[in-house]
Each structure stands twice: as C-alpha cells, then as structure tokens.
A = this chain, B = another copy of it.
Amino acid sequence: MAIQVIQNVRFADGRRGSIVIDDGTIIATGESIPPERTMTVIDAGDRLALPGFVDAHAHMDKSLLGLDWYANEGGWTLQDMVDRERRYRVDKQIDFATQIRRVGRRMIATGTTATRTFIDIDTDIGLNAFHGALEAREALATGLSMQIVAFPQSGMLVRPGTVELMEESLRSGADVVGGLDPSSMDRDPKGHLDTIFGMAERYDKDVDIHLHEPGDLGAFSIELIAERTRALGMRGRVVISHAFSLGGVTDPYLGQLIDLLLENDIAIMSHGPSGGRPAPPVKRLHDAGVRLCAGNDGIRDTWGPLNMPDMLLRAFLITYRNNFRRDDEIAIALAMCMEGGAEVIGLGHYGLVAGSPADLVIVGGQNPLEAMVERPDRWLVMKRGVVVAREGDCLVA
C-alpha cells in the first residue's frame, strides 16, 4: 500500500495539518508533511479529524434495525422485558448474523471503528446469537473491530445449562465473560459472581458485569466484585456497566466505593441513562481517576426504540444527562466515546498519533464539541488506512 496523506484537517486541539499513513498505520501528524514516495492524497477540506469512535457497550444481537416497527406494549419489569425479548426472537426467527451486520454497518457509517458487544446466551437460543456474531465479525472485519462478550441476559444460575453454553462460547471465540445483576436477576450474589469470576480465571478472560441494581443493593454487589477482583489478581480487567448504584448512595459511602474501584482498577461504563434515575456521577468519577467508557447499549430493540449506533449522539446524551455545560466537562463525555473506551476494552495503540492504526473519522465542525452538537454525516471513516464509509454511507458489505 502506498503512503497516504490526509491533508487540510483540523485536529481536536485546533491545530491544522496532515496525517500520514503507511500500510494502515499513522506514521506522522503535523503542520506540513513533505511529499515522498508514491502518495495518495485526500483533501479533508478543513474538516475535523478524530480517532475512530469506540462503542464499548453494545447489544448488537438484540437490534431490530431494518425490520418492521416493533410496537412496544405490555409489562415493564426487568423480567417482563427479558421474557418478551426471548419469546419474540423465537417467534420471529430473528437472523442474528443479519441483524448484527446491520448494526455494524451503521456503526461504521457513523465512525465507530471498534466495539465490545454483548451477545445473549440462554437455554432457548443457545449459541445461535453467538454464532451469528462470529459470522458477522468476519464480514465486518474491514471496518470494525468486535469484541464478543458471553452474556447471560436471561439469568445464569436460574437457568441451568446456561453456564455450560457460556463456557462453550469462551472456548470458541468469545473474548469476555459477562454477568448481570447478581442479586436482582440471579437471586444469589455470591453464587453468580463466583461462577463468573471462576470462568474468567479458567479461560483467562476479562469480566464485564451489567449492574442495574439500585442504591445499597448495587453497592453491595460492587463490594463483592471488588473482593473477587483483588483475590484473583484481576486488577484492570473488570468493567462494571451502568452501575446506577453509584448515583444512589450518599457520601461518604460513595467515596469509599470510588476508593474500591481505584484500588482494583475497575472501570465504569456509563451511557447517560434515560429516565432521570440515579446514575454514576461521571465528573466525580473522572476527577477521582476512575477509568470510564460508554456505549450505545441496545439499538432499537424490544427494550426500547431510542438508541442509534452513533457515538457522537452518545456523547451528547452523556453530556445532557450529566448537565455538562462547560467545554471541559463536555470533553469528558467525548473522551469516554474515544480514548476512554479504547483504553477500557484494551485496544492498545489508539489516537491520531504516530504508531496508531489509522482508525479515524473526518467530520464537519469547528471542534469536537460542535461535531457532537451538530452530528453531521461523517464525511469519511477510515479503518487501518482503508476508507470504510463516505458521507454517511458504509462501504463495507
């Protein structure tokens, strides 16, 4: 591959210049790059260059994108929603690979170049969604890096046979062990977490636990998660997603929980939840040094129709939810959708710096904040030096 130069870009810090790419890797950025060797040149027209976005919390297999509108009706307990989704999938014979590819193509079109997606495993659908995810991962690979989390959405201990299916997925391509609501879903916090962490140890995998449990119940789960992280030496390898309880306890307990997160280097995923319910205080966590990331969660599924696979919209919602108005606060939300996510899911080299893969987005805007507010079509998206989207259209099949 020839040397590529993207010239006439604005960087996030206001500088203008070029990005030089050799064989899919950024080798230089700066004000004026002298031409050398055979080069292909892209003129960005004074648009903004950002690193490819990271959706660190997706449920790609749940999406109904591209299907007829799903009319949301019926009960709204967590159990109602889980049950309804499981039945719907069986009734409609959802093709998981197709749905995951649809979501993935929209991710690429909006500038997301890496994702961690949870894939449901239960005793009804078995490993069907997981196999669909493996197929879609291969199909999307040019444009999107995809981590797969084995996720027991319908409960684990309460549905015998689930653990065995999760273990099978971990032996055949799943990257991360997922858990959820040890008390309120599985009714056995010790049993749930011992099983999750046991799998992580046996298969040498990281852990990502969805914790919707409120207030002191969720806080107790955070304590138990921290204890197991410490005991197994899994510092830096555990994410707690949602963690609503961090917004539902009072000081000084919140301070103590933050200390536990820091001691065990446990990261928090928060996506600016709907409904005004208690949510993690993002700025407080950030200022304390807790690693943070974000994701679009379920994209138009039986749980709700709202979310779209656009991480600029996600940064907007985190900003909205946390009432950020200052530029320095909004920068925290944007970082959660870029370098924060890259760091938490372990992407390694990241960003518009020499040595990183050329995963990047060119988009209109005076600066990243304006791009977030206006959310124009992404002018160009590049993954490892390959143009994978143009003017809002994904070029990956």
- Say whether A316 faces chain B, with CB atoms less than 8 Å apart: yes
A370 within 8 A of B: yes
Name A306-350 residues within 8 Å CB distance of B.
306, 308, 316-317, 319-323, 325-328, 330
Whether the Cβ atoms of B373 and A300 lie closer than 8 Å is yes
A322 interface neighbour in B275, B278, B303, B367, Cβ under 8 Å: B275
A374 lies within 8 A of chain B by Cβ:
yes
CA distance A370 to B321 in the complex (A): 23
Q: Cβ of A276 < 8 Å from any Cβ of B?
A: yes
Question: Which residues of chain B are within 8 angstroms of A327 by Cβ–Cβ distance?
Answer: 71-73
Complex Cα–Cα for A68 and B369 (A): 12
Known contacts: A300-B373, A306-B373. The answer to whether A321 contacts B69 by CB under 8 A is no
Among A275, A325, A366, the one with the most B-chain Cβ atoms within 10 Å of its Cβ is: A325
Q: Are the CB atoms of B321 and A276 closer together than 8 Å?
A: yes
Chain B residues within 8 Å of A321, by CB: 274-276
Q: Which of B73, B320, B366 is A274 in contact with, Cβ under 8 Å?
A: B320
Option from B304, B306, B374 in Cβ contact (under 8 Å) with A308: B374
A320 — nearest CB in chain B belongs to which residue?
B274
Whether A69 and B367, one on each chain, are in contact in the complex, defined by CB atoms closer than 8 angstroms, is yes
Within 8 A of B (CB), among A263-293: 274-279
Q: Which residues of B lie under 8 Å from residue A374 when comparing CB positions?
A: 308
Q: In whole angstroms, what is the CA distance A373 to B71 when docked?
A: 14
B303, A325: Cβ atoms under 8 Å? yes
